[in-house]
Structure 1
Amino acid sequence: MKLTGVVSIYKPKGLTSHDVVNEVRRLTGERRVGHAGTLDPLASGVLVVGIGREATRKLKEIVGQEKEYLAKIRLGMTSTTDDEEGEKTKLSNYRTIELANIQSVLKNFVGTVEQVPPVYSAVKIKGKEAYKLARKGKVVELRPRQVVIKSIDLVDYSWPFLTIKVVTGPGVYIRSLARDIGEKLYTGGYLTSLKRTRVGRFTLTDCVPIETLAKKLDSSGKI
């Protein structure tokens, strides 16, 4: 009997979401496995995985549910990828930003906002992923999209690092948010770490590490 169901897996930093899906396939023997929203390799946290035909159908609904993130931003520098992986540029004209200024700027990003995806993303341009074009040195221009950011809470600030908790609708790039916050502060900024703490009703406390998934499966073959 093949194992089926929807499970929240803790994706560690360094693995792709597809790596996790492949490992679940190996563990369960089920080829029909998918996930409800990609996490970048540098990100960690909640990855909701569906195993089997019925479970993968449920993922379409889960993808559209709100998500919660804990994000750390480095101000005073920019990155070609809007995160730690890219080539960094230190800005010479920035200044230390007061806390009140940061709180004011964060409010501008709550609600329905226009957001340009990162150049190094899987967004397709004429059928080709933007990141593949960027790696070839081609100029990539992506159109802004309307996305919904439900709340941004300031968790910690000690120049040049800013930590925020963000609740979003679907389709939001936290890398883009980090970049845009830096631009609004006139300091530049990029994402240094990201943890997804919730997808819909699935939270970090519900997660199982990929290596212990087999122990969560009961004898009926259901998760």
Structure 2
Amino acid sequence: MQDQPYGEVFLINKPLEWTSFDVVKKVRNALKIKKVGHAGTLDPLATGLLIVCAGKMTKQIDGFMGQEKEYTGTFVLGATTESFDLEKPVVPVDDPSHLTLKDVQAAVAELTGDIQQIPPMHSAIKVDGKRVYESARKGIDVKMEPRSVQVREFEITRFENNEVDFRISCSKGTYIRSLARDLGEKLKVGAYMSALCRTRIGDFLLSDAKELDNLIVEIKARHQTEQ
């Protein structure tokens, strides 16, 4: 009998400041195969669940990417940044101290359900064949068209000291940084995202994910055993 083609799915807790491609490269080098990819980018300043597929399982990537995502994190009111997260310098907008939880909940309600959303300029979306973040870094403005996304749940889990902790369940293509921008605009004080963690993709949970370093050790140990 011939050996079945190799295929595997890894659930990884992406480290802070790593790109999703950095993680793929690390797994690819450990496996010593070329066919490795991820199912949904996480920004460098985000942590949490990253699905990495290897071998024949790379054919399942589109299916994983299409599933609902869940995130937790923090928005900061009263300021913004060019990237709507901490990748760029913080710029004060307006004093948010007058805002109440009720005010924030009312704005959140307007950003829940089927909404139109403009992706951030600092994102990997392609316009005219180019990544828009490449244009943004050169100071070139690119017209971004609104996209239909679904924010099924937008729960505030803490509101104090101008910070909004949240839990969001949303469709593929939803940018949490854009929700930060839009929340700040609705409240007229500005907002940016200071922390983000992806906790779920479909039925896959962050609690079942492995730390990258531990996974690499396991893969290398497996290879030594097989040799």
TM-score by length of 1: 0.93
Which aligned pairs between 1:178-217 and structure 2 lie closer than 5 A? Answer: 178-214=180-216, 216=218
Aligned to 2:138, which of 114, 136, 139? Answer: 136
Contact 1:72 1:194 in 2 (8 A): yes
Distance in 2 (CA, whole Å) between partners of 1:122 and 1:72 is 22
Match of 2:161 in 1: 159
Q: Deviations over 1:38-73 (max 9, x none)?
A: 000000000001011x21111111100000000200
List, as ranges, runs of 4+ consecutive aligned residues in structure 1 with deviation greater than 4 Å.
Answer: 214-221
1:33 to 5, 14, 36: 36
Decide whether the 8 Å contact of 1:82 with 1:179 is kept in 2. Answer: yes
| Structure 2: distance between partners of 1:174 and 1:71 | 9
Deviation at 1:140, TM superposition (A): 2.4
**Larger deviation, residues 146-155 vs 83-92:** 83-92
**Aligned pairs (5 A) from 1:90-169:** 90-92=92-94, 94-169=96-171
Is 171-180 or 101-110 further displaced after alignment?
101-110
**Alignment CA distance shift 1:190-1:28 (3 Å):** same
**AA at the equivalent of 2:99:** I
Shift in Å, 1:129: 1.2
Contact persistence 2:15–2:48 (CA under 8 A): yes
User: Does the 8 Å CA contact 1:42/1:193 hold for their aligned counterparts?
Assistant: yes
- 1:94 Cα offset (Å): 4.5
Root mean square deviation, CA, Å: 2.0
How far, CA to CA, are the matches of 2:104 and 2:157 in structure 1? 12
- What TM-score do the two structures reach when normalised by structure 2? 0.91
Q: Which runs of no fewer than 5 residues in structure 2 stay unpaired? A: none
**Residue pairs, 1:69-108, within 5 angstroms:** 69-92=71-94, 94-108=96-110
**Paired positions, count:** 220
Give the counterpart of 1:6 among 3, 9, 13. 9
CA offsets, 1:125-171, max 9 Å, x none? 21111111111111222111011111011111113111100001100
d(CA) in 1 for partners of 2:140, 2:67 = 34
Q: Residue 30 of structure 1: CA displacement?
A: 1.8
After alignment, is 131-140 or 13-22 more displaced? Answer: 131-140
Structure 2 residue matching 1:198: 3-state secondary structure? strand
Percent identical among aligned pairs is 37
2:18 is equivalent to residue 18 of structure 1:
no
